[in-house]
């Protein structure tokens, strides 16, 4: 990687310090959760009641579980309130909670075909949404390429 010799300078704007109490911060979280609850429940219902659920169960021996749904019900609305897209929040949870190493990816007993099928299933879920499952796509693609290299060696 090549870095430029000198970076352009910039002025730092002084801002007034702000202090928040723990209670006020927790109240903001609760407000965000309440405000977006219905939309997030619909999102979770959409992802957990389809081909992706069956595929995870049958080929990867994985389910969503109460923990995933509970985390999604708290994380996604706060992510949305902070200006993010609900699809990106769900992609983050999917990548870090379901597709993580040893759970779905980086397993010796999973075939390239299974990963490709899972990737396609995730793409199908995301088709009508505003963003793409970037993190999930990267994880599955990296694992698929690793397995393809191992098979070729």
- Number of compact structural domains in the chain: 1
12 assigned to some structural domain: no
16 assigned to some structural domain: no
Q: What angle do CA 136, 126, 94 make, to 5 degrees?
A: 35
10 assigned to some structural domain: no
145 assigned to some structural domain: yes
Provide the percentage of residues in the chain whose pLDDT is more than 70: 95
Q: How far apart are the first and last CA of the chain?
A: 29
Q: Is the pLDDT of residue 54 over 90?
A: yes
User: Span 54-82, mean pLDDT?
Assistant: 94
Parent domain of 100? 25-152
20 assigned to some structural domain: no
13 assigned to some structural domain: no
User: Which stretches within 94-133 are classed as H helix?
Assistant: 112-126
Distance of alpha carbon 65 from alpha carbon 9, whole angstroms: 50
133 assigned to some structural domain: yes
Q: Is the pLDDT of residue 3 over 70?
A: no
Residues in the chain: 153
14 assigned to some structural domain: no
Q: pLDDT tens digits, residue range 91-140?
A: 999 999 999 998 999 988 999 999 999 999 999 999 988 899 999 999 99
């Amino acid at each position: 990687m090549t870095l430029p010799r000198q970076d352009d300078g910039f002025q730092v704007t002084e801002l007034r310090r702000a202090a928040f109490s723990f209670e006020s911060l927790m109240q903001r979280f609760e407000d965000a959760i309440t405000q977006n609850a219905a939309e997030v429940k619909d999102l979770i219902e959409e992802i957990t009641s389809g081909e992706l659920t069956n595929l995870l169960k049958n080929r990867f021996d994985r389910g969503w579980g109460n923990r995933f749904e509970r985390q999604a019900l708290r994380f996604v609305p706060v992510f949305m309130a902070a200006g993010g897209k609900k699809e990106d929040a769900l992609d983050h949870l999917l990548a870090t909670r379901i597709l993580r190493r040893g759970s779905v990816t980086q397993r010796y007993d999973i075939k390239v075909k299974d990963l490709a099928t899972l990737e396609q299933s995730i793409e199908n879920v995301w088709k009508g949404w505003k963003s793409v499952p970037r993190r999930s796509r990267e994880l599955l693609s990296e694992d698929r390429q690793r397995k393809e290299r191992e098979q070729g060696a």
